[in-house]
Amino acid sequence: MQIRFVLPLVLMAFISQAASQETHPIKKLNVAVLDFVARAPVTPDEAATLSDVFTSQLIQTGEFEVLERNQIQALLKEQNFQQSGLCDQVECIVETGKLLKVQRMFAGTVGRLGTLYNVNIRVINVETGKIELDRTRQYDGKIEILASQVIPEFAIEIAEGVTGKRVYIGSSKRGSSSWLWYVGGVAILGGGAAAYLYLRPENKTPTNTDLPGAPKLPGQ
Give residue-wise pLDDT tens across range 20-71. Answer: 444 555 689 999 999 999 999 999 999 999 999 999 999 999 999 999 888 8
pLDDT at position 20, please? 46
0.85 surpassed by pTM: no
Angle at the Cα of 95 (from 91 to 99), degrees rounded to 5? Answer: 170
- Distance between CA atoms of residues 77 and 84, nearest Å: 12
Strand partners, 105: 32, 124
Q: Where are the domains of the chain?
A: 3-23+173-203, 29-171
User: DSSP 3-state assignment of 201?
Assistant: helix
User: DSSP 3-state assignment of 193?
Assistant: helix
Q: DSSP alpha helices (H): ranges in the chain?
A: 3-23, 44-61, 69-78, 90-100, 143-145, 151-163, 176-199
- Distance between CA atoms of residues 150 and 50, nearest Å: 10
Q: Which of 155, 76, 146, 79 is nearest to 110 (CA)?
A: 146
pLDDT at position 73, please? 84
* CA dihedral for 100, 105, 106, 111, sign (positive or negative): positive
Positions of the chain with pLDDT under 70 = 1-26, 82-88, 170-220
CATH class of 29-171: alpha beta
